[in-house]
Amino acid sequence: MSGYRAPWWLPGGHVQTLAAALGPAPRVVFVRERWGTPDGDFVDVDWAGNQGAARLLVLFHGLEGSSRSHYARSIAALAAASGWRVALPHFRGCSGEPNRLPRAYHSGDSDELDWMLRRFAGQGVALHAAGVSLGGNVLLKWLGERAAQARALVRRAAAISAPIDLAAAGAALDRGFNRRSYTRLFLATLKTKAYAKLALGQLQFDEQRMARARTLHEFDDLVTAPLHGFLDADDYWARAAAAPWLEHIAVPTLVLNAKNDPFLPAQALERATREASSRVLLESPPSGGHAGFPGRRQWLARRVLEFLSQS
């Protein structure tokens, strides 16, 4: 951790202008490939780097993220420049085009992740995986659920700013500054997608309740939970959380969460990682916010690739 420097988070949790703090996102040349899913839907995968590379990094984005996200471009740019092949699969509905079926994606969608990683494993190169935020939680859950099977597929893994205790993260996001900033931005796109599915007859919900919804708990209660087979938001958050699976992880895995991450309070992180497997390396720098760490010196990308490159 010797290369760590002061982040873009100020005392008290307030944020500087992201553009000034992180700088412009690196330019990455992506080539898009569409995969048909086993249930008749599709996902889009953006590729970068040398096609003949011996190592493949699969990077899973966060809630409402994509290959356009700053963290995705930062990691992909450095990985490609370092000789890696990089793949950024988009969760359903996140690549800029609505998916076809009455389903979306969620924090515990490890079956979807399993299908993706098994297909990537067919590339015949050394496979590594990383996930940011929601993508990190799904990856950690998959690693714990599959345990030895995951070890046979993936060499090493990294989860960045993963909200591994979803109930604690949801509570943190649904109050105060977080609700006025992050949650409001997430809900703007989530609601738009939900209304689009409603218009297509792919989803049913109480429109008046949706109009009043101001928290992720309310949205997950109305949409995410019923759409994906959960009883309600509390059932979804409990069953989709990665924390209970950390003790079963067999793949060498970096879990990188800043202590001042507004999505997951430090006490909740400590509680959730108490029983983690010896294969899990937890790094908790005092600051860094949510996937900040910061971007201007490529610290996050360098740390992730440094860990994944170890033999």
Active site residues: 133, 261, 290
Structure tokens of 283?
Answer: 């790094």
Q: Which region, left, alpha or beta, applies to residue 40 given φ > 0 means left and ψ of -120 to 50 means alpha?
A: left
Task: List C-alpha distances in Å: 98 to 42, 165, 229, 262, 263.
Answer: 10, 29, 20, 30, 27
- As a whole number of angstroms, the distance between CA 26 and CA 29 comes to 10
DSSP for the chain, written as a single string? -TT----SBPGGG-B--HHHHH-SPPP---EEEEEE-TTS-EEEEEEEE-TT-SEEEEEE--TT--TTSHHHHHHHHHHHHTT-EEEEEPPTT-SSS--SSS----TT-HHHHHHHHHHHHTT-SEEEEEEETHHHHHHHHHHHHHTHHHHHH-S-EEEES---SHHHHHHHHTSHHHIIIIIHHHHHHHHHHHHHHHHTTS----HHHHHH--SHHHHIIIIIHHHTT-SSHHHHHHHH-SGGGGGG--S-EEEE--TT-TTS-HHHHHHHTTT--TTEEEE--S--TTTTS-TTTTHHHHHHHHHHT--
